[in-house]
Amino acid sequence: MREEKRRRKRSKRFFSRPWLAIYVVTLGTLGLALFFFQTTGGPQRKFDRGEGLFLDGDYNRALRKFRRLYEQHPHSSLAPQALLQSGEILYLHLGREQEALLTYLLVQRDYPGYPEDSRAQQRAAEIYKYRLEDYDRALTAYQKLLDSGDPGGENFQYEIADIYFRRNHFEQARIEFEHYLKQYPDSERLDEVLFRVASIHALEGTLKEAASIFQGLADQYPASPYYREALYGLAMVREERGELQAALDLLERLQKDYHRPEVLELRMDQIRQRMEKKRKAI
């Protein structure tokens, strides 16, 4: 009973001082307002400022704004976007590829599963492959993206096949390109991939398969930029198989508009010389 009396006495004392209650409420409100500003208003202002500087072409200052947002407000919903934008500025506008790569890796580390994560992985893979020529890391990155079910699977499969080709692993490159043809039969790259499969067959010495694919490509895609290259490749296969007249006929078809006329003429001269030697031998 004594404890209850003391509690009631303290309560009456508090409410008998309305200024104290108002002070406490006001302080709490200010705290909430400050928290709201720090988590929404502050980051948004920094992000908008960074975007404005970026659009004005002031890339270094925009970069600083975005990085400051990430460092000061890492839990903001804008932080992953700001960090990714930092990487894009470093990579695409400032040419600082190593720093860009580290930034993309930060996005993957700090914001896995965010929309920015996939983009950062793609950019990192691109830098590994096309800038650093680190094909092992590029292959790992593209395979991870492909296995994740990312909507860009078609492109990742192509990049994987191309990496094997660049590493002179022709058999595996052919297997990957053939898998591409099966998985993406409606792709806009079918003519290119068919050409590459035929070319790898030619490199591997499987000339019958190479000739068949080159011929099919020329028949199916007469308007393709790979049409003339397919005919040229078919001519090379015909020559390799000793079908010299057929090879020469194909090259003569290309005389009007082949983009490397000097190469074409040289090849035709070589075939004519072989045909002449063959006639003399008979």
Q: What is the mean pLDDT of residues 15-33?
A: 45
Of the candidate ranges 89-98, 174-183, 228-237, 248-257, the one whose mean pLDDT is the lowest: 248-257
pTM (global) more than 0.85: no
Residue 267 has pLDDT above 70, yes or no: yes
Q: What are phi and psi of 211, to 5 degrees?
A: -60, -40
Q: How is residue 179 written in tokens?
A: 């898998």
Tell me, what's the pLDDT at 259?
87
pLDDT of residue 20: 44
The sign of the dihedral angle between the CA atoms of 92, 96, 97, 103 is negative
User: What pLDDT does residue 280 have?
Assistant: 84
- Determine the topology of domain 44-116 in CATH: 1.25.40
Mean pLDDT of all residues in 141-158 = 95
pLDDT of the residue at 13: 56
CATH 1.25.40.10-classified regions of the chain: 44-116, 188-282
pLDDT of residue 4: 66
Cβ-proximal residues to 72 (8 Å cutoff; 6+ apart), any chain: 42, 46
Judged by average pLDDT, the poorest of 28-37, 77-86, 146-155, 246-255 is 28-37
User: What is the overall mean pLDDT for the chain?
Assistant: 89
Q: How far lies 243's CA from each of 73, 105, 212, 274, in Å?
A: 71, 54, 15, 11
- pLDDT of 256 reads 87
Check: CB of residue 66 under 8 Å from CB of residue 50: yes
How far lies 251's CA from each of 177, 196, 233, 242, in Å? Answer: 27, 20, 10, 15
User: Which structure tokens are listed for 118?
Assistant: 């996939």
pLDDT surpassing 50 at residue 164: yes
Instruction: Supply the pLDDT for residue 235.
Output: 97
Range 267-275 average pLDDT: 94
Superfamily of domain 188-282: Tetratricopeptide repeat domain (1.25.40.10)
Q: What is the pLDDT of residues 100-135, one digit of tens each?
A: 999 999 999 999 999 999 999 999 999 999 999 999
